[in-house]
Amino acid sequence: MRVSLKDVAERAGVSIKTVSNVVNNYQHVTPAMRTRVQRAIDELGYRPNLTARHLRKGRTGIIALAVPELGNPYFAELAGAVVDAAAEHDYTVLLDHTRGSREQEILVSQGFRARVIDGLILSPLELEAEDLQSRTDDAPLVLLGEREYDLPYDHIAIDNVAASQAAVRHLLGLGRTRIAFLGARTDTANRPAQLRLRGWREELTAAGLPAPDGMVGAVGGWDRGDGALAMAEMLDAGIRPDAVFAFNDLIAIGAMRVLHERGLRVPWDVAVVGFDDIAEGRFGAVTLTTVSPDKRSIARLAVESVIGSLEGAKRGAEARGGRELTADFRLVERESTLGRR
């Protein structure tokens, strides 16, 4: 039988209103009264009806998260962090899979779930600024990832150029001078890889080293097979790098497999750095040095942006948006550049 506010009030010897104030964390409850009510809540195992609470505010209690690839471990780990961050605010997360399709990203952003969700967190790959300029859905929208938009929507990302420079700087510090980049996408100029490619090129140039096109491996996707193919094509073309910086960990893992098959030892012959710090990179035969974005910070900023917009709308505050919010990153050094110690 479900425990009600009335049951808790009777156990604590207080009014239902007092119990409601404690459950909703209102500040004007005295510490002694809060302790008294909380004891009754714990004894009875009371759980608030979150659906009813959200409905009273005219909300559904659901935030949507739309990502391009649920099978990509980075997005899976990010989704877990968003779920955890939303739960701290008593929100549920609805996952959408866009497959990196512009049509699907437009559909998601234009509010096809408008009656289901209170806000949307979207990680786009193909969406263009013009696709959002005609947006009529008033649900808060937060954008994630490397795509940059000059629009009135909060955008959350790490500094991809600085992160890439840190990765290349690490390799330079190890004495590597022929550093390849794997993961360029040439079909669209504004692809996310462009910022990481820019960081690679700028750091090499600053070190007085060339950054020739032959040391850039293009890919058709961002999975292990794409990294393996790009690495094989580079080696088959007679190009022999002494280090590889990959757009993401999956590409790096695919590249390491080909290097192993060709008899090249990681890191002694070729050092490898990835990007994303997915779990797979920590448990391979050679653990992967990688750029680790603060996924929990990204998730927290995104959820707080949505909820902040909702609360502002409730107060009648002027809509906010267009902020560039930056999460932190760190370079995690492992065996693929340092060897076993």
Both 248 and 276 in one domain: the answer is yes
pLDDT higher than threshold 60 for residue 188: no
339 inside domain: no
Task: Identify the helix (H) or strand (E) that includes residue 290.
Answer: strand 289-293
User: In the structure, what pLDDT confidence band is assigned to residue 159 with cuts at 50, 70 and 90?
Assistant: very high
Both 302 and 265 in one domain: the answer is no
Q: Where are the alpha helices (DSSP H) in 88-207?
A: 102-109, 129-133, 160-173, 193-206
The number of distinct structural domains making up the chain is: 3
Both 153 and 302 in one domain: the answer is yes
Give the C-alpha separation, 123 to 73, whole Å: 14
Both 164 and 285 in one domain: the answer is yes
Of 67-81, 168-182, 215-229, 300-314, which gets the smallest average pLDDT? Answer: 300-314
pLDDT value, residue 190: 47
Dihedral (C-alpha) 276, 277, 279, 283: value to the nearest 10 degrees?
A: 130
Q: Is the dihedral of CA 198, 256, 241, 177 positive or negative?
A: positive
pLDDT higher than threshold 80 for residue 178: yes
Of 3-12, 20-29, 54-63, the range with the highest mean pLDDT is 3-12
Place of tokens 């007092």: 18
Both 154 and 300 in one domain: the answer is yes
Both 271 and 229 in one domain: the answer is yes
Domain residues for the domain of 271 are: 160-293
The tokens for 164 are: 């890439």
Of 3-12, 75-84, 151-160, which gets the smallest average pLDDT? Answer: 3-12
| Mean pLDDT value of segment 304-320 | 72
338 inside domain: no
Of 2-11, 25-34, 138-147, 235-244, the range with the highest mean pLDDT is 235-244
Q: The CATH number of the domain where 34 resides is what?
A: 1.10.260.40
pLDDT in tens, 206-225: 999 999 999 999 998 889 99
| Mean pLDDT value of segment 194-200 | 93
DSSP line for 55-107: HHTT--SEEEEEES-TTSHHHHHHHHHHHHHHHTTT-EEEEEE-TT-HHHHHH
Ramachandran bin of 263, using left for φ above 0, alpha for ψ from -120 to 50, beta for the remaining angles: left
pLDDT higher than threshold 70 for residue 314: no
Print burial letters for 10-40: b (CB count within 10 Å at least 16), e (below 16).
ebbebeeebbbbbbeeeeebeeebbebbbeb
37 inside domain: yes
pLDDT value, residue 280: 95
Please report, for residues 173, 175, 182, 259, 338, the alpha-carbon distance to residue 126 in angstroms, rounded to integers and kept in the order given.
36, 37, 20, 32, 36
55 inside domain: no
Residues counted in the chain: 341
pLDDT value, residue 142: 95
Give the C-alpha separation, 334 to 281, whole Å: 9
Q: For the chain, give the mean pLDDT.
A: 88
Higher pLDDT, 266 or 57: 266
pLDDT above 70 coverage of the chain, percent: 89
52 inside domain: no
pTM here is 0.81
User: In the structure, what pLDDT confidence band is assigned to residue 175 with cuts at 50, 70 and 90?
Assistant: very high
Both 134 and 113 in one domain: the answer is yes
Task: Identify the helix (H) or strand (E) that includes residue 327.
Answer: none
User: In the structure, what pLDDT confidence band is assigned to residue 33 with cuts at 50, 70 and 90?
Assistant: confident
β-strand partners of 290: 274, 332
User: In the structure, what pLDDT confidence band is assigned to residue 155 with cuts at 50, 70 and 90?
Assistant: very high
Both 264 and 178 in one domain: the answer is yes
pLDDT value, residue 139: 86
Q: Where are the beta strands (DSSP E) in 185-241?
A: 216-218
Please report, for residues 23, 67, 274, the alpha-carbon distance to residue 247 in angstroms, rounded to integers and kept in the order given.
46, 18, 6
Crossing angle of helices 5-12 and 31-44, in 10° steps, is 120
Higher pLDDT, 32 or 329: 329
Q: Is the dihedral of CA 10, 16, 22, 23 positive or negative?
A: positive
pLDDT higher than threshold 90 for residue 165: yes
pLDDT in tens, 75-131: 999 999 999 999 988 899 999 999 889 999 999 888 766 678 899 999 998 888 888
Both 164 and 283 in one domain: the answer is yes
67 inside domain: yes
User: In the structure, what pLDDT confidence band is assigned to residue 58 with cuts at 50, 70 and 90?
Assistant: low
Both 223 and 239 in one domain: the answer is yes
Cβ contact 57:90 at 8 Å = no
Q: List phi, psi (to 5°) of 333.
A: -90, 125
Q: The CATH number of the domain where 221 resides is what?
A: 3.40.50.2300
Both 202 and 267 in one domain: the answer is yes
336 inside domain: no
Both 176 and 262 in one domain: the answer is yes
Give the C-alpha separation, 180 to 249, whole Å: 15
β-strand partners of 119: 63
pLDDT value, residue 272: 98
pLDDT higher than threshold 90 for residue 259: yes
